[in-house]
A and B are shown apart, each in its own frame.
Chain A
Amino acid sequence: MRVFDAHRVLGPVPGDLVASADTAGLLAELDHLGIDGAAVTPSSVLFGDPAHEQEGRSGPVPERLAVVPVVLPAVPGAGWPAEPEQVVAAAPVMVRTCPVRHRYALTGPIALRWWRELAAAGIPVALDANECGLERVAALAAQVPALRILVLSPGYRCLRELAELLQSRAGVHVETGTLAGAGAVEWLAGQAGAHRLVFGTGAPLWDDAGPRFQLDHLRLAAHDVELIAAGSFELLCAAGAT
């Protein structure tokens, strides 16, 4: 079974010393857990201002890793990149955005233009629910229904809201790493389908070992487990390419 972690951070993080501070350390972590590949957000653009943290970041990355840039829609000179067309031209597998951390309006007029561009190009957007709340995610999904959204780190306490969001917004997908309630992954798969659940951990900020172990012990059909392990993410990213 191919296992792909759709949510990891690469680089030093505040408040801890982590093995994934560099690429070699991150790959060693993946090997230890039996994870084939990962979508990684550089910590420099997550914990810094993307508008000022792009220099020197264009080096090659191993094939196992897909870089997820952090985009910041804003007035000229205050965001990154300057225009959404630049994101579309770069064709990343997915982008991440942090409206609360980077203080901008997720559904303001500037950002909405970006999301419509990305939706048209089929580029998914990842949002950390632990950062921005499910309400913002729901508002964005309502305003740009064609946009593919991956909800990161929703936690285990909002299953009712999450299930309703998944049922009402077809473009929304959810990362499983923090769906930590007893039986939560199976329950949500039953509510929305395994194709809407994407294996991811949020490591090193969140635990990766538990979700990886759980993947081998889910009480779901093998096909559903394979979807969660890697297939759903591939479908999410490929949807716009067709």
Chain B
Amino acid sequence: MSPVLDAHGHVGSWVDFFIPEPGARWLVDTNDAIGIDAVGVSHLVAVGRDARAGNELALAAAERHPGRIGVWLVGDPHRPDAPSILRDQLSRPGVWGFKLHPDTHACGADDPRYDPVLDLAADAGVPVLVHGQTGSPTSDPAQLVELARRHPEVSVLVGHAGLWPAGFDRAARLATGQPNLYLEICGSRLTTRWLERMVAVAGPERVLFGTDACFLDPRLGLGKVRYARLSDTDRALVLGGNLARLLGDRIILDRTT
């Protein structure tokens, strides 16, 4: 049976608002209850202010929940020593790839300061998940296309698939023109009809399930895919088949729970 893999998750608290359940334990328990095999997380400390420390927190969560929590290591474009730190962390258990957040980093997705992270991803053969927000001066999907174009050997995941409904169709069309660009669908504004349209435009092999836990509740994200009018084959690709293919032997599932 094809796995169910959440391509976009987090653990930790956040500065802007209250998150009732920021912990890995709650996330794993909830995923158990609804049938998500594993989730790739970046720690919100890493996304927000301290990539090195936050990545260590995510790695510790993965260690506590092997096979259930994977790690997207946040690449900080402002630290000259980031590549060497990330190279070491990349070999740790549970790492799925890298996460870039151009908006919190205040650094355009197509800025060359991200290139060392993409080079590491190419060497290791891991995907890079990038926050992709339509209209953002730093993370508009068009900038992610440019990043993907410069690094054709790296699978670039457009986090949130553009985030806003006004940008979903454009993001899907951008993916059709860039073979290593994938649409990761988490976000509070996605609806089943937009998911169905994305799959129709970009193709089922280019769309990846994600929830944005713990910002968002994983039950909401999974419900959209479960209720979407997709064929069983397409749904399986979106829910985890595509990500399993991109992760290769980095994905080790614990299906004992």
Contacts and interface: CB of A to CB of B under 8 A. Distances in A.
A159 B213 CA distance: 16
A210 B219 contact: yes
Contact of B213 (A18, A182, A204): A182
B124 interface: no
B223 interface: yes
Contact of A208 (B30, B191, B216, B221): B191
Interface string A167-188: 0000000000010111111110
Interface string A185-204: 11100000000000000011
A209 B195 CA distance: 11
B214 interface: yes
A217 B33 contact: yes
Contacts, number: 110
Contact of B193 (A18, A155, A184, A185): A18
B224 interface: yes
Chain A interface extent, by class: 20 to 34
A213 B192 contact: no
**Best-buried of A16, A19, A210 by chain B (most CB within 10 Å):** A210
Interface string A140-160: 000000000000000111111
A68 B30 CA distance: 35
B227 A217 contact: no
Contacts of B80: none
Contacts of B215: 156, 181-182
Contacts of B223: 209-214
B227 A180 contact: no
**Best-buried of B19, B189, B215 by chain A (most CB within 10 Å):** B19
Contact of A207 (B19, B192, B226): B192
Contacts of B216: 156, 180-182
A207 B190 contact: yes
Contact of A210 (B165, B213, B214, B221): B221
A159 B192 contact: no
A217 B20 contact: no
A206 interface: yes
B228 A209 contact: yes
Nearest to B195: A209
Contacts of A16: 165, 193
A9 to B, nearest CB: 13
B191 A182 contact: no
A139 interface: no
B22 A182 contact: yes
A159 B217 contact: no
Contact of A182 (B16, B21, B165, B166): B21
A32 B227 contact: yes
Nearest to A155: B188
A109 interface: no
Given A180-B220, A182-B214, A207-B190, A157 B16 contact: yes
B193 A183 contact: no
B34 interface: yes
Nearest to B223: A213
B180 to A, nearest CB: 29
A220 interface: no
A77 interface: no
Interface in B159-216: 165-166, 188-193, 213-216
A182 B211 CA distance: 10
Nearest to A203: B191
B20 A182 contact: yes
A15 interface: yes
Given A180-B217, A182-B216, A183-B26, A159 B20 contact: yes
A213 B220 contact: yes
Given A182-B218, A214-B220, A217-B30, 6 more contacts: A16-B193, A159-B20, A183-B26, A206-B188, A206-B191, A209-B227
Interface of B: 16-22, 26-27, 30, 33-34, 165-166, 188-193, 213-224, 226-229
17 contacts: A15-B165, A32-B229, A156-B17, A156-B215, A159-B20, A181-B214, A181-B217, A182-B22, A182-B26, A183-B20, A204-B191, A204-B193, A207-B192, A207-B224, A209-B191, A209-B223, A209-B224
